[in-house]
Structure 1
Amino acid sequence: MSIKPPFRADVVGSYLRPDYLHTARKAFAQGNLSQQELTAVEDKAITELVQLQKEAGLNVITDGEFRRSWWHLDFMWGLNGVAKKAIDNGYSFSAMQTRAESVQLTGKISGDNHPFIEHFNFLKQFAEEGIVPRLTIPAPAQFLKELEREGNREQTRAIYPDEDELLQDIAAAYRTVIQQVYAAGCRSLQLDDCTWGMLTDPKVQRAAEQVQVPTCSCGHDHQPVATSALDNLLNKLLKVNNLALEGVPEDLVIGTHVCRGNYRSTWAASGGYAPVAEVLFAKEHVDAFYLEFDTERAGDFSPLAHVAEGKKVVLGLISSKVGELENADDVVARIQEASQYVPLENLYLSTQCGFASTEEGNNLTQAQQWAKIALVREVAKRVWE
């Protein structure tokens, strides 16, 4: 079996934290546990998680993002020139708001000595024949959008009045991190990116488009006509991601996971991939797309027709948000349906997202989590072996 990702049975990367890790992180936040003591607890939890991943028959292992509070902010806080920031309101999801934290620039951005390199070094020790350790980080576009969100934009513009300089520095910081983690032995890097997933939602599109209604004396109503603002945004997201991937070594496999939000089993956006497909699927310089397809919120498979030739698509058909187990026959049928647009040999299977994009985790049990992983394995064997 090839040990080059993606794998027929793959994962997005985050897992539910054990109760004792939640307890330790709470004690650390309250000042009742030292960093050294917390790290020892994290090491134990990750070691146990890796063993469970291997026992589940996976070819890829991650640290479950157990050292993080957020899937994205912890990485951003580890960049030079970036500080943690408390804000008034968290991210808005369908049923709740998240904790209210973000980032703030304190100076120019760079990526030297990122703490995630040490995180990978700990995971790397568990690699063996047929087992690939993977690092997951937020995409450059995700960092850009965080810097440009309301409440952050003014400080970002104060330090970077020239937007192109901002894009260049973000990309350069990521290239530094990528070079360092590659030197540490990483050959599977995943860029998690909600920016594209959010732009599948018509509400978000309208906000980006600044829709205008043309005037006409004919007496008929006209549909709104979008300005080029949405296209400009899509191209800017593409630019910063591709700049960051310039010079990536040929044997470093880059995947990107496109998500519509994953917080305590809720979601933030709803819509098919069509609005972003021609830019994302055709032009982003990644090897594989990990795509959410577990509910009708993600639309149909037709936008996959835009996937560039030879690129891999990992179908996220198994929900990580709910404990109820999908029907294997239904999942097999959906893979066959997707193969109308992407050759079956270029298709793979995973859960639609991680099980715990933030430390709170989704609303399912550890047993349900591993049953989902087992189902991914079962279906993959049926379809490809």
Structure 2
Amino acid sequence: MTSTLKRNPPFRAEHLGSLLRTDKLLDTRHAWEAGKDNKENVRSVEDNDVQEIVKIQQDLGFHAITDGEYRRHMFWGEFWPGLEGMTEVAEPDPSIFRMYIPDIAAFTEAGYKPGETVICTGKIKHVGSTYTDQFDYVKNLVPKEDVKNIKLTLAAPNWYHLRYKQGQAYPSGVYSNDDEYFGDIAKAYQAELQTLYDHGLRNVQFDDPNLAYFCSEAMLEGWKKDSHNTYSADELLQKYVDLYNACVSKIPSDMHVGVHLCRGNFVNSRHFSEGGYDRIATKLFQELNMNTYYLEYDTPRAGGFEPLQYLPKNKNVILGVITSKFPKMEDLGEMESRVREAARYMSKGTGESEEEALKRVGVSPQCGFASHSSGNAIKRPDMVEKLKLVRALADKIWPGEP
């Protein structure tokens, strides 16, 4: 499919990066993990499946192409192996975790270990990208003029902090406080983003359920009761905003950065948290230096569109009004009405007309289809139908636009 696009990211029809793996890929990877297959065979199956999923996206009319995150186990994509000073703990002591953090609670209640426990054990330094191979492979599957549209999803810079109790994310002998720790995390992301830019990447999406946790009354109540915490949840949210801004402070002007907030999409389509964006809207939209916000909006647990009135004129929003959790198809007319309702709130805040506000809007599923590689309560044919629906909704609202 040859593109004649003139628009840059984001696009009217988007998805959130992770797509359902084939049974062959899952079986091959599980065999390798059990010592019954080799990594070369896993790589061969990954290559084949990435080629297939790229073609599917192209045929369905999507332009922010991803590799489906097929080379990852979880959405955060193992950023830490490219960092000196970070160590994975295979059997973590449960006492290091803030058990009221929504994903930690969901993992433990479901009988799983908290996903990929990585802690700082020394000064953090970026020593090599773990993402460039993933990007370079996709880059060779699309026309040269479309390379700038490829989307790569990155782990949130706060991922290896919020889940751990105060004092457990790093040794006090290495960093004396969070600000020092965050300073080196930011430098690592600056190096990573520059490396990816040098490889041709222009479209970045940070995946961050943690920011949405600050909308969760359960998490906030747990935070207040935690005697280990030395500052309020609002103060920590500000530190995370400052951390993000430091991470992207040196990106070139033609690199698009966005952040995806959701409330979890675990095995069997379980979500992690609830709560609307109202509580964090001003700080999220006006202080966080992102071009685009990819927001969950498929169920009432994400609240209403009212917070979008705080979105500035120079920023975009991708509305996740179609669920990736369950196969039931949404009504196209109802979804269009919801998108236009969102635009009305945006225009209320900026003084634009609804049609002007719509120019800064796109649509997507509310989350990835396989944030966890095993997927959720939806099958591959259902996923394709959902993606078709996203494209159809975009075409109905913005005819002829990518």
- Asked if TM exceeds 0.5, the reply is yes
Distance 2:202 2:127 in 1: 19
Kept after mapping to 2: 8 A contact 1:141/1:238: no
TM-aligned CA deviation for residue 258 of structure 1: 0.6
* RMSD (CA atoms): 2.1
> 1:182 corresponds to which residue?
197
1:99-178 to 2 correspondences below 5 Å: 99-100=113-114, 101-128=116-143, 129-130=145-146, 132-146=149-163, 149-150=164-165, 153=168, 155-178=170-193
Check if 1:81 corresponds to 2:85: yes
User: d(CA) in 1 for partners of 2:80 and 2:211?
Assistant: 19
| Mapped partners of 2:358, 2:74: distance in 1 | 34
Report Cα offsets for 1:141-190 as digits up to 9, x if no partner: 223324xx149816444432232210100000000000000000001011
Q: Quote the Cα distance in structure 1 between the aligned partners of 2:167 and 2:27.
A: 32
Does the alignment pair 1:229 with 2:232? yes
- How far apart, in 2, do the equivalents of 1:383 and 1:97 lie? 43
Alignment of 1:219-298 (within 5 A): 229-264=232-267, 265-298=269-302
Please give the secondary structure, in 2, of the residue aligned with 1:175: helix
Change (3 A) 1:372 1:70: same
> Any conservation in 1 of the 2:74–2:372 contact (CA below 8 Å)?
yes
Deviations 1:299-345 (A, max 9, x none): 00011111122100000001011111111111001001001122111
Unaligned 5+ runs, structure 1: 213-226
**Among residues 199, 217, 220, which one is paired with 1:205 in the alignment?**
220
* Whole-Å separation in 1 of the counterparts to 2:80 and 2:291: 23
**Contact 1:139/1:193 (8 A) holds in 2:** yes
Tell whether 2:17 aligns with 1:13: yes
SS at match of 2:78: helix
Q: How does 1:332-343 map to 2 (within 5 A)?
A: 332-342=336-346, 343=357
1:56/1:373 contact within 8 Å kept:
yes
Greater Cα shift, 355-364 or 87-96: 87-96
Relative distance call for 1:97 and 1:251 in structure 2 (3 A) is farther
> Residue 281 of structure 1 aligns to a residue in which SS?
helix
Q: Please state how far the C-alpha of 1:210 moved relative to its aligned partner.
A: 5.1
Q: Is the 8 A contact 1:73 1:102 kept in 2?
A: no
CA contact (8 A) 2:77 2:154 kept: no
Residues 119, 160 of structure 2: 8 Å contact kept: no
How far is 1:56 from its partner? 1.1
Q: Which residue of 2 aligns with 1:363?
A: 377
Instruction: Say whether residues 1:313 and 2:317 are aligned partners.
Output: yes
Counterpart among 336, 345, 352 of residue 359 in structure 2: 345
Cα distance 1:46–1:152, how it changes in 2: closer, same or farther (>3 A)? farther
Letter of the aligned partner of 2:40 in structure 1?
A: Q
Number of residue pairs aligned between Structure 1 and Structure 2: 369
SS of 1:140's equivalent in the other structure is: coil
| Higher mean C-alpha displacement, 43-52 vs 69-78 | 69-78
Deviation at 1:276, TM superposition (A): 1.1
Normalising by structure 2, report the TM-score: 0.87
Please give the secondary structure, in 2, of the residue aligned with 1:33: coil
Letter in 1 for 2:241: L
CA contact (8 A) 2:161 2:169 kept: no
Residue ranges of structure 2 left out of the alignment (5+ in a row): 95-102, 347-356
